[in-house]
Amino acid sequence: MDVYMPAQLDPQPADLDELLGFQPLLYPGGRPIEAIVSYHDGRWPVYADVVNAFFSAAGKDCWTDFNYGIAESGAMLGDPQRVANATLDELKSMLTWCVRGERFCDGHHGSVIERGYILNLLQRLKVLRQHLAAAQ
C-alpha cells in the first residue's frame, strides 16, 4: 500500500507549468472559451476537450485540498483581492472547490471558467511560479 507523505502532495514546478499552460487555451485573448459544447440528453453538459483536460490536471492529488471548506473556498473565489494574495495552500483549496463543484451542480466547470474564477487562479499561480523560480 502506498502512503503519501505531505511533501509528495505538494505541486512541483512541472505541475504549476502544466496548469499555467491552460490559460491561453481557456482564455484566448483574455476571454473565456465556450466551455460547454453541447448537452447530453439535453441535460448534462458536454465540455470542450481542453476543459476536460484542465480539470483532469487540476484534480490531481497534488492540487487537492482534502480538508477544504466548501463555504470558505467559495467565498475566497468571490473576492478577487483575496485570490490575488492567496497562498499556494489557499489556491489549492479554491481549485478543489472548482474541481469538485461539478459533482453537486451540472455545468459548474463551465461556470467557473465563464465567471473568470479559473483565470484569476491561474494569474495568481503565475505569480507564485515566478516567486518559486526566483528562489531557485
**Does residue 120 belong to any structural domain of this protein?**
yes
Does the residue 90 lie in any domain?
Answer: yes
Handedness of CA 128, 69, 77, 26 (dihedral sign): positive
| Domain range enclosing 41 | 6-135
State the angle between helix axes of 117-135 and 88-100 in degrees (0 to 180), rounded to the nearest 10.
Answer: 150
- Looking at the domain assignment, is residue 30 inside a domain? yes
Taking Cα atoms as reference points, which of 100, 128, 90, 94 lies closest to residue 12?
128
Please state the domain count of the chain.
1
Q: Please give the distance of CA 54 from its chain centroid, rounded to a whole number.
A: 8
Could you tell me whether strands 44-47 and 36-40 are parallel, antiparallel, or unpaired per DSSP bridges? antiparallel
In terms of phi and psi (left: phi > 0; alpha: psi -120 to 50; beta: otherwise), the region of 43 is: alpha
Q: What is the pTM of this model?
A: 0.91
| 1 falls within a domain | no
Task: Note whether residue 52 is domain-resident.
Answer: yes
pLDDT for the residue 79? 97
> Measured between alpha carbons, how far is 60 from 115 in angstroms, rounded to an integer?
23
Could you report the per-residue pLDDT of 58-105, keeping only the tens digit for each?
Answer: 999 999 999 999 999 999 999 999 999 999 999 999 999 999 999 999
**Does residue 104 form part of some domain?**
yes
Residue 5 scores a pLDDT above 60: no
